[in-house]
Structure 1
């Protein structure tokens, strides 16, 4: 999502002698920015925006605002361009906040417009207004504004787009009063804005020297590697130095082929365990990742004794809070390309290989490992997996390897309600690709409305719901907070959800499988269909 922002030649549907409205100018901008898919759930204060809706635009309806933003997130990541979202005022933005937070953590470029009541009645606290529209989404938008005049709306949306696309990318919000759209305005002049910043050569030279001097280097890759289209360059860097490669904790993308000889595995979000796993390395280079993301309180050093920490990140905040070491700020891809110009002067032996997971065997009550092992056997390498199954993620990392760029998406935030709608957005952004939404039974209920959008758009998505009838992640995490194995964790049991009925009610075909002997055939049929289908897999 970097580089110069492309724009087509200016063009308006209005004759030059006609009055140009705010609506005309915004539509012209959206067309030039490639934002012709509008992800929305309509409210009264948004209706004037869509009068005379352009025939070359697409309105993508979500049945709840969190689903709308989730779809837009997946679409933006898949297309590497900002998506356009339209929400209702305070209530609509409030409903969407969980996935706006996720878009913020995912570094997803997104222009959100929110309807506002008419300017003339704002002093009277009218019904369905947003009293503090620009404050409501903070701090999880990069920028927010309610323009002072109707004529300022097009310029505000242009500025919002550029800010959303500048690294680190993220969502922005423009609050637009309902009576602005028909006001006269001017077209926004065409511009070219570069969003790709090269890291400082002197700092990269220090990192290159440290990398060359090390005996046992490790590279820790994060989501920004894949976001910045640096997959091949990072593979080349690892191979040039025979460096083991670890996936950063809680990373939302796959940024290195997980079947590669140098891939070492996944770091947990625990300080002591990270230090333990990286203990054999004398240099750690975090590329496109924080150093490091933690989930529970820890103590002690952040890196092994005697090791050096270096970091290449596009995010100044991430660079600022790194506890030790050298941080280079700028484009991941350009930074790695510059590191590759420093040819290694010594050959290192191959590090130990990652130990393969044991073969999962079928059992009367199907294991998650067997379910995901079977899915790995039947899916194609270029199928795209959108995941939201927190309790199954460690098993997925062992039994369902991701081996290609742009084939894995999940939430960097840890917030639920992203996976189902994001799979819809990814499928729309990558037409012709098969998308697999791998999701837990608890997670699926946060944005189940996305099934309707998938069905209405006839998208080739296979929703695989791992049904263990509980919030397993919470039960598994409870011992960290003093629960014993026999303690009841309140509010974590989820019996009696009929996923087949829910799916069929939303317009999707559905099946339920609990017999391991039937799983392969069910998945093969689902993965060859041309319409969305739900496969509920009953697991232990």
Structure 2
């Protein structure tokens, strides 16, 4: 701290409470006593005399920090506090800030700023236009005009982050603000649940009652609004099958339930084909629809009524057709169910994929054996894009499980997010499923897991490259460059950061390794050397040809 800053600190101590005192009291009242950060010079005064009831969770890079907080906030269902460095630190965090925004994760992100007195001179490590840098991936951003306004800015950031649809907020705080005189502030309590329009629900009920065959498409908003049981009741009431919306980042419906119909692809024509034969499509907690490839034509089958309900007014505003209703699903679904006529239950069965060959260690075999040997209750954090198909086919997420993945499509979120989930839910075993390419975006997160003693089973699906990119390139007839990642030793990477690790490449050793993985406690890693699906098909064809 500068001599002038030290003088201000002494004056503040003599005069009474400071901004830091007021913020500390506010954070304690809000339950924000866990701080995720990577400290820099411009935010050090925030941590002077940090109270014993606060804990600082260190990540070794700001993107790690942001994703740890994201997982923690999702698991606690409350905004988490993130502390970053000025411009460079915020810049490092931007990829996972984008993911948190798309995940609709409530976060209060604070960032250091240089002293106000030297800002006109473009000082070292200052943030130029600090509130503009994190946009558009925050709901609200502020650098308070006065030091004494910092507590009120943080309180507003909390309230905005927790309002539906939830998301990150940002407050830039000059380094010399913390020592300025400031009185505690009062906290206004706000309710963040929004009830749907009753007249719109009546209209929706009329449309659904007229339909002969209803399809329900559920997205992450069902999980965000804690409406899974209400969805199941609704599906039973109208005798509907339930699909999971394209790119859903949470599990809205048990995938081992007879009403579960599968996952919709992010392709307009493929969605219409999957929903063919239905004359009403009810979309819950998801946009209509996320697309990953260009498409044309209708969004739902011709003649089908389209109804969307969710807490995000932006999703309703861009609804391409039909009826959009804005409201919390925990309130909307019971109210809609009461208005609907009950229908007799038909016999529904879920399709099952054929068992993968036990002779070749593919990601399909890995998913099948993980599902067979997993514990009764599990939280799963996944970032293995090329393995997502086998995950859907062979590893159903059950009602008692919790599932998290990345809504943005960016990499480097899953590994540190698992650390945050584990910190929030120490009573639940965590399975973190990662591709080798994804893991390398955030590999230093293993250190944070080891330091925290987090109960996480990390599984690295090592196929030697960015296999998801190869698969996508094949759609365009493109041979992808820069997609191979040979020679990475994840066992050594884990051990170097204080974590026990093993490797399996033989399918005959797979079950024993998985049993040992789930039996252990604390942070541990299992690297699985898999044969890519395309390679496996070629291998099986060669074996068949040789036998003939």
TM-score (norm 2): 0.93
1:532 maps to which of 523, 530, 545: 523
Counterpart secondary structure, 1:396: helix
Q: Deviations over 1:258-312 (max 9, x none)?
A: 0111000000000000000001211000000111100111011111011011000
1:505 maps to which of 471, 496, 505: 496
Is residue 486 of structure 2 the alignment partner of residue 491 of structure 1?
no
Instruction: Report if aligned partners of 1:272, 1:298 keep a CA contact under 8 Å in 2.
Output: yes
Instruction: Report if aligned partners of 2:378, 2:401 keep a CA contact under 8 Å in 1.
Output: no
Counterpart secondary structure, 1:48: helix
Q: CA deviation at 1:359?
A: 1.1
Match of 2:294 in 1: 297
Q: CA deviation at 1:346?
A: 3.9
Is residue 50 of structure 2 the alignment partner of residue 60 of structure 1?
no
Match of 2:72 in 1: 75
Match of 1:450 in 2: 445
1:464 maps to which of 456, 459, 463: 459
Instruction: Report if aligned partners of 1:381, 1:404 keep a CA contact under 8 Å in 2.
Output: no
Distance 1:190 1:144 in 2: 20
Write out aligned runs for 1:5-16 (5 A).
Answer: none
Is residue 366 of structure 2 the alignment partner of residue 362 of structure 1?
no
> As a proportion of its length, which structure holds more helix?
2
1:165 maps to which of 162, 185, 195: 162
Q: CA deviation at 1:190?
A: 2.5
1:29 maps to which of 16, 26, 33: 26
Match of 1:421 in 2: 416
Q: CA deviation at 1:482?
A: 3.3
Write out aligned runs for 1:316-395 (5 A).
Answer: 316-347=313-344, 349-350=346-347, 352-364=348-360, 366-395=361-390
Match of 1:89 in 2: 86
Q: Deviations over 1:64-90 (max 9, x none)?
A: 000000000000000000000000000
Q: Deviations over 1:213-270 (max 9, x none)?
A: 1111011000010111101000110011110100000000001000111000000000
Distance 2:406 2:38 in 1: 22
1:397 maps to which of 392, 416, 437: 392
Distance change in 2, residues 1:218/1:381 (3 Å): farther
Distance 2:113 2:249 in 1: 33
Instruction: Report if aligned partners of 1:500, 1:510 keep a CA contact under 8 Å in 2.
Output: yes
Match of 2:146 in 1: 149
Distance change in 2, residues 1:324/1:381 (3 Å): farther
Which of 354-363 and 411-420 deviates more? Answer: 354-363
Distance change in 2, residues 1:406/1:111 (3 Å): farther
Distance 1:44 1:31 in 2: 24
Distance 1:167 1:243 in 2: 27
For these two proteins, the number of residue pairs brought into alignment is 519
Is residue 174 of structure 2 the alignment partner of residue 177 of structure 1?
yes
Q: CA deviation at 1:404?
A: 2.0
Counterpart secondary structure, 2:339: coil
Match of 1:3 in 2: none
Distance change in 2, residues 1:405/1:130 (3 Å): farther
Q: CA deviation at 1:389?
A: 0.4
Distance 2:499 2:338 in 1: 51
Which of 26-35 and 168-177 deviates more? Answer: 26-35
Which of 417-426 and 340-349 deviates more? Answer: 340-349
- What runs of 5+ residues in structure 2 fail to find an aligned partner? 1-12, 532-548
Q: CA deviation at 1:341?
A: 1.3
Distance 2:356 2:20 in 1: 58
Match of 1:241 in 2: 238
Q: Deviations over 1:479-509 (max 9, x none)?
A: 23332xxx4x210001000101100001110
Match of 2:3 in 1: none
Match of 1:264 in 2: 261
Q: CA deviation at 1:367?
A: 1.0
Instruction: Report if aligned partners of 2:380, 2:401 keep a CA contact under 8 Å in 1.
Output: no
Instruction: Report if aligned partners of 1:275, 1:304 keep a CA contact under 8 Å in 2.
Output: yes
